[in-house]
Amino acid sequence: MCVSNRRTRRWVNDRLLMELVPRLNAEEIRGLFAPPPWGDEVPPSTFSMTNMEEWDNFRTIDMDKEASIIRSHEKSSTKGRDRLDADKVAAVTAWHRVDSRTREALRRCYLSDLINSFEECVRSFVEGNEDADVLVLHVQDPFNRLLLHGVCEFYNLVSTTVDQSKGSETLKMTRIRKKKQLGSSDLPKITLCNFLKMAKEGFW
């Protein structure tokens, strides 16, 4: 049987292509038929899983009602931001009342529990009985007293340390007084401990 030149060339070309192109593995063959319906099942979309009644309520909402909902959401977000900004401003203002040397000591202080205990005493004093005009604390360590005075300055209180004789021993006594018309509403919402923590984490 005689084979034509055209058929011979076709056979040679097919053999050449088979030698040049390696055999496809199962994953590659599967990739050729990836589109549905031969490939994997297409995951259901969010809209296809949504209850049609709920989706219709969203799709057919009145435009005026939609605008009202958006405005109320924007107002609540703005109020929240304004309230947070006001708290930040109050905390920064309180921080600037503190003496610069004391600010440095507070920033570098590792005695956060001590500052927190001073702060709890001071806040309770301001929020407590109006008849209690003076809070007395006995802090003997000079550095700890510096921290205490810093806490008092942050909360806009007057603090003085005096000597107190007890027999042959002289002790230090710190007297803390409120300024006129200072109430619990004047306390910064952000505490000094939180302020220092936020400052270290780069929030200021």
The residue ranges of every structural domain in the chain are 81-201
Output DSSP code: residue 134. E
How would you write 13-62 as a 3-class SS string? HHHHHHHHCCCCCHHHHHHHCCCCCCCCCCCCCHHHHCCHHHHHHHHCCC
Per residue in 15-71, pLDDT tens?
A: 776 666 667 777 776 666 665 555 556 666 666 666 666 666 666 667 776 677 777
pTM score above 0.85: no
pLDDT in tens, 138-193: 999 999 999 999 999 999 999 999 998 877 888 999 999 988 766 556 788 889 99
